[in-house]
Amino acid sequence: MTTYIQTSEQFIRQDPEVEIIASAQRRDEYPIFVCQDESAAVRRLCGEIAGRRVALITDDSVARLHAGRLAHRLVEAGLNVAMTSFPAGEASKSLKTASELLDWLAGTALVRRDIVLAVGGGVVIDTVGWVASAYMRGMPYINVPTTLLAHVDAALGGKVAVNHATAKNLIGAFYQPKAVISNVGYLSTLDGRHLRAGLAEAIKKGIIGSPELFEFIERKHADILTGDLLACAQLVHGASVIKCSLIAKDPYEDDLQRPLNFGHTIGHAVETATGYGPVLHGEAVALGMACARPDRRAPWLAGHGDPATDHQPARTVGLPTTLASLPVALDPDRTVAALRQIRKIRDGRLRFVLPVGLGKTVIVDDVTEEEIHAAVRAARASRASRASGSTRAGQQLR
Ligand SMILES: NC(=O)c1ccc[n+]([C@@H]2O[C@H](COP(=O)([O-])OP(=O)(O)OC[C@H]3O[C@@H](n4cnc5c(N)ncnc54)[C@H](O)[C@@H]3O)[C@@H](O)[C@H]2O)c1
Ligand SMILES: [Zn+2]
């Protein structure tokens, strides 16, 4: 029998062995504003901050390029702003950085209702979001993305985490931001490689959820890659709508069959196996998407693009879709170890999201160790044949 205790009198009469149900519910909603210049972004920020104290956290590069100036403008607008930064790059998405940030926050005058501002790419947003979730049992935080990847993906959805040597994003939480203020003007300083990596996550959303977005990227990728403000704003707006609608169906991943994970099973393993950094997240996802072939006949890890079924503009924009085009060599043993770790985290099953047409996916969760080893052997063979300058018949090595 289940009993809801209502009065102290009832409490005294209660059989102490009766089950007690505790409940807690929370509904999170937040606005996403897509701006095309910093002045518009500052106006939105001031509206959301509403006079509270601000702890602005960024990385060293973004501090120099944008965040220092942004902090100055917030101070000019009458806000009390403290700012810190940590070294740029995936290696900083760590417990060590998080712990240093917690120490720094403890030295500020911030109280629980003040605001943490995460200004940067996905590394800053994931790390700072997790720190905000922990500090004082949860501080409100606002995301100000500065890379294309963070604009179209990382800033949205409240998945916050740091990496562990054994697995990507192993230590984290679901903790939604108070608002996301995107200024695509910040993309003017981002290099082509990072712009392409960001496009990978947008292409993913087109493939899994929106033929319209996919078609937009096919038509506009050249404008996006040269930083055209309107094209970038339209892309960010469209990708945000799709991500939010996919997430709203299952915000806390109760169902592990998430199409948004397309390209990520192999992608995360590649990032872990290469030591977080040499392969950008978007590049790893592009390879992961190329490896997740709908027919299952293609080797899982070999990454041989098949032009007959390859409808991804990833290759067109210059993203790696084969092992040969990754910026570093992939160690097959470390990749298998990383996949094993992912299997352990995901209830003992490796799930692959496979597209079966634009906007439609199926999930395969019965990939065996043997299939993975076969794929790794194929990857090894393809590397060896590349090294000796030969290509086996029927293989496409780009
Ligand atoms: N939480 C999520 O839902 C989610 C989704 C996708 C990716 N991610 C995570 O995001 C991370 C990758 O993010 P990223 O690719 O943005 O990497 P990043 O944050 O490391 O940024 C890439 C580089 O660009 C620099 N930079 C940032 N903004 C710039 C600008 N405007 N001009 C010039 N340089 C700039 C940074 O200093 C850094 O050196 C990964 O850890 C990935 O797991 C999270
Ligand atoms: Zn991703």
Q: What crossing angle do the helices spanning 281-291 and 264-273 adopt, rounded to 10°?
A: 130
Q: Count the helices and strands in the chain (H runs, E runs).
A: 14, 12
Q: Which ligand is nearest to the CA of 168?
A: 1
| Strand, coil or helix: 122 | helix
Evaluate whether 182 touches 155 at the Cβ level (below 8 Å).
yes
Examine the domain organization and report whether 152 and 38 are in the same domain: yes
Mean of the per-residue pLDDT values of the chain? 87
Looking at the structure, tell me whether residues 218 and 283 fall in a common domain.
no
329: helix, strand or coil: coil
Q: Ligand 1 in contact with 83 (CB < 6 A)?
A: no
Instruction: State pTM to two decimals.
Output: 0.89
Strands 141-145, 179-183: pairing kind: parallel
d(CA 141, CA 145): 12
Q: Tell whether 265 is covered by a domain.
A: yes
Report the pLDDT value the prediction gives residue 388, as an integer from 0 to 100. Answer: 59
Measured in Å, residue 282 CA sits from the centre of ligand 1 at: 9
At 177 the pLDDT is: 98
Query: Is any atom of ligand 1 closer than 6 Å to the C-beta of 153?
Result: yes
What span, in angstroms and rounded, lies between the C-alpha atoms of 59 and 73?
Answer: 18
Determine whether the shortest distance from the Cβ of 119 to ligand 1 is under 6 A: no
Per-residue pLDDT reduced to its tens digit, 240-293: 999 999 999 989 988 767 889 999 988 999 999 999 999 999 999 998 888 876
Find out whether the beta carbon of 267 lies less than 6 Å from any atom of ligand 1. Answer: no
Same domain, 81 and 105: yes
The stretch 34-49 carries a mean pLDDT of: 98
C-alpha–C-alpha distance, residues 249 and 88, integer Å? 33
pLDDT for 321? 82
Ligand 1 atom with the smallest distance to the CA of 90 is 20
Do the beta carbons of residue 19 and residue 3 sit within 8 Å?
A: yes
pLDDT of 379? 59
Tens digit of each residue's pLDDT (9 = 90 or more) over 58-115: 999 999 999 999 999 999 999 999 999 999 999 999 999 999 999 999 999 999 999 9
Residue nearest to atom 21 of ligand 1 (CA): 121
Among 158, 156, 56, which residue's Cα sits nearest to residue 115? Answer: 56
Could you tell me if residue 108 is inside a domain?
yes
Report how far ligand 1's centroid is from the alpha carbon of 305 (Å).
26
Phi and psi at residue 141, in whole multiples of 5°? -135, 150
Distance 200 CA to ligand 2 centre (A): 9
pLDDT for the residue numbered 223 = 97
Whether 67 is in the pocket of ligand 1, judged by its Cβ within 6 Å, is no
Q: Which ligand is nearest to the CA of 38?
A: 1
Q: Which of 395, 180, 228, 233 is nearest to 299 (CA)?
A: 395
Average pLDDT of 147-152?
A: 98
Here the CATH number for the domain that contains residue 380 is 1.20.1090.10
Domain match, 127 and 170 both: yes
Whether residue 145 is found in the same domain as residue 193: yes
**344: domain range?**
259-387
Contact criterion met (CB below 8 Å) for 124 and 149: no
- Cβ of 163 closer than 6 Å to ligand 1, yes or no, is no
Residue 244 is assigned to a structural domain of this protein:
yes
- Taking the CA of 162 as reference, the closest ligand is 1
Q: Is pLDDT larger for residue 256 or for residue 1?
A: 256
- Which ligand 1 atom sits closest to the C-alpha of 201? 6
